[in-house]
Every structure is written in C-alpha cells, then in structure tokens.
C-alpha cells in the first residue's frame, strides 16, 4: 500500500477545498449537497453534467466555481444552429509576411473551465465535437491535433430531455461525464434569503480563493489518496453487477438494463471516491465514499430496456438497489 498523505499536507488540502465550498455555498443558497458533488467531480479530474429546469442556478454555479478556482473559463451557449467549428476552432486565411496562409484560430473550447450551457439544445453533430476533448484533452482540426489547456474541465448544463427543442445526449457522450447531478428547487428559507439579499436574483461575482497551482495541488492530492484493494474490489463488483450479460448479475438488472456501465465508470467512481475522502480530510477511501457516489457516477451510464421505462423504473433506483445488494467484501 502506498504511503498515506501526511496529516499537515492533508489539512492544507482540506482547508483549500473548504474555501472553495464556502464560496460556492455563498453563491448558491441551500444547495450544499450539490456544490460538494460538483467539486468532487472536478477534483476527480472529470466532467460534470448538471440537469434541471431553467432558473435553478446551474449557470451561476459553474461561473462561480471557475472564478473561485482562479481558472480561465469560457461559456458556450449551445443552440440548434451551433456548428462543431464554432466550438473547437477552425483554419482561417490570414495575410502574413510570407503571403496568405491558413492559420488555426482556437475556439472557446480552449479554456481551463468550459461551461457548455444547455448542451442538449445543439444537434448531435455539434455535441460530438466534445468527445475527443473530454476524453483526450485535445482536439483535431483537419490533420492537426491541438492540446487543450491544463487543467481542463467541462461543466455542462441541460434541461430535462422531455422539453421541446432538445436532443438527448448519446451514450458515448454521457459516459464521458464523470458525474451527473440533478439540480432541484430550494427551500422556502433559502428562497426568502435570495429575495431579501438579491433583488435582481444575481449574486455578486466571488473573489478567487485559489489559483491554477492550488488546483493542481488538489488534483495531485486526490491522486495520492489510498484506494484499498478491498474497496477497489467492491467498486469492480458493483460496476459489473450492472451488466446484464454476465451470469452473476442480479435479476433486476437482467430484466431492466439493456447495457450496463463500462470500465470507465469504475475508474470514475474510484476517482470520485478519492476526491470525497480528501474533502473529508481522510487519506484513504472507505466503502461509504463509494456508496455515496454510486448513483451520480453510474446511473446516467445505464441504458434501460423499454419494459423498464414502461414500468417507471429509473436507473437511479437500480443502482440504489445494487448498493444495498452487493456485499462490501
């Protein structure tokens, strides 16, 4: 087993992450569980998909996170007429000293934090422009591959797919999101506070409490959190239990799931569990970390059967059942 993070170093990581959480909670009232989940996905080095109705603060949350982290950020408003080149960039003809040459002009994807706002309002062709960027941290335009800035995070928002004028994200796109978080309404007390403190509904832009080096230190700290072999085995069994083609998968999975989670889901769950442990000030992952994150990490990757949809069965319910059913050891 690798060495544990020294207590003093662990305390420093926790102090920095707590400052980020406090800043997020000051922007988005009454959503502590959501802000912690979003930061967990970010510190795991992944991407986060926020789903909810308009007006719940999804965009403000992403903008606040970028400002608090001190990272370069850009916003892409996804619309039906948006083209892939509008995101990745393209070659333009430019006059130079040596004559006219094609020069690459980078698109808004070249930022450390990218807000893909209402991602499901763009066509599938445009949505797919993010696939290489989210997985490989680079984009290929014509025959040249361009590296994206580091760190690189995509935080996307979407309205529920039942709304008019939206295109459901394909499975390959969903699988690249480390976490999918559902944004719900807030309590009456939180809403009252908004009415009293923010007549126009807009929070004041937060000041940075971190910078690029600080985020890099947090990411490195997450990578050093110990994943015990027993917990790794539990993650593997939990993810494999979602695959109906395996002989040992539960009966509920065989009847309700068409396609289960991929190894990418297991890697994402381990990374998020490490990030959750770091946020809690612990140098090693526990079973509780995995169980708390199983639904937001795994559920959106499952493809259910038609019969499951008719019965009203959700992917979250299936994952919750697996958490109760699969033994820890």
Give the tokens for residue 164: 């008019």
pLDDT given for residue 152 in this prediction? 94
Domain with CATH 3.40.50.300 in the chain: 1-80+109-224
CATH number, domain 1-80+109-224: 3.40.50.300
pLDDT given for residue 43 in this prediction? 94
Domain with CATH 1.10.8.80 in the chain: 225-329
Distance separating alpha carbons of residues 198 and 26, to the nearest angstrom: 12
68-88 residue pLDDT tens = 999 999 999 999 899 999 999
Q: What is the mean pLDDT of each run of 10 residues along the chain (329 residues)?
A: 82 93 91 93 94 84 92 91 90 79 86 92 88 91 89 90 76 91 88 86 86 93 95 96 91 91 95 96 95 96 90 92 92
135-152 residue pLDDT tens = 999 998 888 899 999 999
pLDDT given for residue 2 in this prediction? 64
Whether the predicted model's global pTM rises above the 0.85 cut:
yes
Q: The CATH number of 225-329 is which of 1.10.8.80, 3.90.600.10, 3.20.20.70, 1.10.150.310? A: 1.10.8.80
Distance separating alpha carbons of residues 235 and 120, to the nearest angstrom: 30
């Amino acid at each position: 087993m690798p060495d544990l993070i020294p207590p003093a170093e662990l305390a420093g990581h926790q102090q920095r992450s707590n400052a980020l959480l406090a800043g997020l909670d000051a922007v988005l009232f009454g959503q502590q569980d959501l802000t912690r989940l979003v930061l967990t996905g970010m510190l795991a080095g992944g991407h986060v998909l926020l789903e909810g109705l308009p007006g719940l603060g999804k965009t403000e949350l992403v903008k606040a996170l970028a400002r608090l982290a001190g990272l370069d950020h850009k916003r892409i408003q996804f619309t039906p007429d948006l083209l892939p080149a509008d995101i990745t960039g393209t070659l333009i003809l430019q006059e130079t000293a040596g004559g006219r040459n094609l020069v690459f002009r980078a698109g808004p994807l070249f930022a450390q934090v990218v807000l893909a706002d209402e991602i499901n309002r763009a066509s599938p062709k445009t949505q797919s422009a993010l696939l290489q960027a989210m997985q490989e941290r680079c984009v290929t335009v014509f025959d040249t591959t361009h590296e994206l800035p580091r760190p690189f995070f995509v935080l996307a928002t979407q309205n529920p797919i039942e709304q008019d004028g939206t295109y459901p994200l394909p499975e390959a796109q969903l699988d690249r999101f480390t976490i999918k978080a559902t944004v719900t309404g807030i309590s009456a007390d939180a809403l009252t506070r908004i009415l009293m403190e923010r007549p126009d509904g807009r929070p004041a832009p937060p000041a940075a409490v971190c910078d690029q080096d600080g985020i890099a230190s947090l990411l490195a700290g997450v990578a050093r959190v110990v994943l015990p072999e027993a917990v790794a085995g539990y993650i593997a069994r939990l993810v494999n239990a979602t695959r109906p083609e395996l002989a040992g998968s539960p009966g509920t999975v065989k009847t309700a799931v068409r396609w289960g989670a991929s190894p990418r889901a297991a890697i994402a769950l381990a990374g998020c569990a490490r990030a959750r442990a770091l946020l809690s000030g612990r140098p090693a992952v526990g079973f509780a970390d995995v169980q708390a994150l199983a639904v937001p990490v795994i559920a959106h990757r499952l493809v259910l059967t038609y019969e499951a949809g008719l019965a009203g069965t959700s992917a979250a319910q299936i994952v919750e059942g697996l958490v109760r059913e699969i033994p820890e050891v």
